[in-house]
Amino acid sequence: MRRIAFFCCLLTALIANASPLLHAQAVAPNAVLTIKGNQFIRDGKPYQILSGSIHFQRIPRAYWRDRLEKARAMGLNTVTSYVFWNAIEANRGQFDFSGRNDVAAFLRLAHQVGLNVILRPGPYVCAEWDAGGLPAWLFEQPMVKVRTSDPRFLTAVDNYFQHLGRQVAPLMASHGGPVIAVQIENEYGAYGQDRDYLRDIQHGLTQAGLGANLMFTSDGPQFMANDALDGVLAVVNFGPGDAQKAFAALARLRPGQPMMAGEYWAGWYDKVGEPHAHTDGKQEAGELSWMLKKGYSFNIYMFEGGTNFGFTNGANVTDPGKTPPHYVPLTTSYDYDAALDEAGRPTPKFWAFRKAIAQATHITPAAMPAATPFMAVPAFTLDESASLWDNLPAPVHADLPAPMIHYGQNSGYILYRKRLSGPLNGKLDLGSVRDYAVVYVDQQRRGTVDRQLHQSLLPLSIGAGEHTLDVLVENSGSVNYGPHLADGRAGLVGSVTLDGKTLHDWDVYPLPMQSAAAIHGWTRHPVDGPAFHRGSFAVKRAEDTFWSTTSFGRGFVWVNGRNLGRIWQVGPQQSLYQPAPWLQVGRNSMIVFDLTTRVSPSVTGLTHPIWAVKESDAAH
């Protein structure tokens, strides 16, 4: 049995009451946070946690210090961060703690800046991140039952926790480090009620050295009772306007314990095809003032959202009980209408929150770091193109098409090819498409099948003779929340039929799009169909910019070999953030992959992003 008597590592039940705190305390990086009655205690004194969420894996490493110093300058004493498991263990058993995955380096930097850290290591994190942070290899057949006590899942989780613990355990507050608290799972009450599973996760964290300090669960007011654990701090998540009701619900559930907002949603995420999110900063600043005066602790979600670089954006399924449920991918930008924008610049919310914190705590906030410079880049043309058809890898033969992960692929694109003898006439049924398919006959586009539009069928008429059917599928983002999270497969996940007859004997071409190095067949002549488009630009100084993507349809962008994220002509995101550290003085290269035909498209660098929703989209 995994559930052993390890509760000596936990907090005792919270029973006493005390008056609310009047002032926030300056950070003491080497002190352990404890609980006495309804107060957090540090260095023997009452302590109020003033936190903001920042996800280090969404931010260029060169900018970590800048963002942390801005957190201090807003008056925060703590930052809260998820750890994205699937970024660290993208392939089973291969752990990568380098670059933006270097959690230990981020924690040490936070310590240097004078900030506490609250760590939320998952295994599931949601965060509008691909599959909620769960690695794609978990969804191989037979599928592991994620977020349950399935031994296969727990074994994988424990292995991840052990590797994470080697990075983080030495930096816990009990060892003089900045990590004052660790979350057990993430909003599990909105998913299930299996406390045995939560104890398994708690035990795994403890065994990895991450349970020596404060541990907690967090959830919305209506779900807290489903995942609150005896002897473990519970905190509440809510949005603007709900503070009083949410804290009242927490007080009823846990009378006498400290009051804390685990997530105060001071912003919101962006969905493809819907307007850019905007929330009321004045209202939020007022609610923060109320929490501060009551002595309640909080974590602003988000302080800075950052960017879902590459193919790391998640997706939601709305109305999951309906048939079919509505799938909505999320944008590359995780701007979140936060206190800092996607590029780390202070917004009006930043200054409103800074003022509210300073007025309540009577502490002068730290000075602001120097502003990050931005540049405009004159328009340049991507005047070389290379057809996708000329850049296919060696195929894998299969009787029936299988999901991406069957071929060892986590995300990107995948091509399923079938030889047909005509004449044929009927409906092509692709079954469950994950998530967007373009259908070609003899490399001529015949139509699209879009999960977002609840599509699976396409009328198809093929003349006499031999023909090639190609189904090019894009993984637009795996579901990160709700019951559909349990099946994270991408590509084609079932059989394909034409006029009711199952199609056998396929060639499959995995296209993870991890590198542009091997692309060949470049030409300055127009190329029809899906293609890569290449150009270059020169800069005298490497500064941040936003690339306008309005000349493109649907695809993604590489700059100097880094995948900056997705292009969706439908919006709302019509530009991609380019961090200066990923540029070089002098000549830089850009390659754009587009599913639709483009002839010498033009690109411009801007100092501000473009947000707009288009009513029609030729690539949608």
- The β-bridge relationship of strands 116-120 and 78-82 is parallel
As a whole number of angstroms, the distance between CA 48 and CA 295 comes to 7
Q: Cβ-count burial of 218 within 10 angstroms (0-12 exposed, 13-18 middle, 19+ buried)?
A: buried
Nearest CA among 167, 580, 535 for reference residue 373: 580
- Partnered with residue 434 across adjacent β-strands are 491
Nearest CA among 168, 205, 203 for reference residue 81: 168
As a whole number of angstroms, the distance between CA 249 and CA 222 comes to 8
- Partnered with residue 576 across adjacent β-strands are 547
How many residues are listed for the chain in this entry?
Answer: 620
- Partnered with residue 22 across adjacent β-strands are none
Q: H or E stretch including 41?
A: strand 39-42
Q: Are 248 and 241 in contact (CB under 8 A)?
A: no
As a whole number of angstroms, the distance between CA 537 and CA 586 comes to 8
Q: H or E stretch including 549?
A: none
- The amino acid that residue 507 corresponds to is D
Q: Are 565 and 310 in contact (CB under 8 A)?
A: yes
459 backbone dihedrals φ, ψ, rounded to 5°: -60, 135
Q: Are 347 and 280 in contact (CB under 8 A)?
A: no
| C-alpha torsion 447→449→454→457, nearest 10 | 80
Q: Which two tokens stand for residue 368?
A: 């602001």
Which three-class secondary structure state does DSSP give residue 437?
strand
As a whole number of angstroms, the distance between CA 126 and CA 220 comes to 14
As a whole number of angstroms, the distance between CA 161 and CA 207 comes to 8
As a whole number of angstroms, the distance between CA 61 and CA 315 comes to 25
Which three-class secondary structure state does DSSP give residue 614?
coil
Angle at 37 between CA 31 and CA 38, to 5 degrees: 85
In a 13 Å sphere around the CA of 437, the CA atoms on its Cβ side amount to 29
| C-alpha torsion 89→91→93→98, nearest 10 | -40
Q: Cβ-count burial of 362 within 10 angstroms (0-12 exposed, 13-18 middle, 19+ buried)?
A: exposed
Close Cβ partners of 319 (under 8 Å, ≥ 6 residues apart): 325, 326
As a whole number of angstroms, the distance between CA 406 and CA 396 comes to 11
Count CB-CB contacts under 10 A for residue 417: 17
Nearest CA among 455, 436, 439 for reference residue 447: 439
CA-based Rg of the chain, rounded to a whole angstrom?
25
Q: Which two tokens stand for residue 299?
A: 């974590």
Residues annotated as part of the active site:
187, 263
As a whole number of angstroms, the distance between CA 147 and CA 156 comes to 11
Q: H or E stretch including 317?
A: strand 315-318
- The amino acid that residue 222 corresponds to is Q
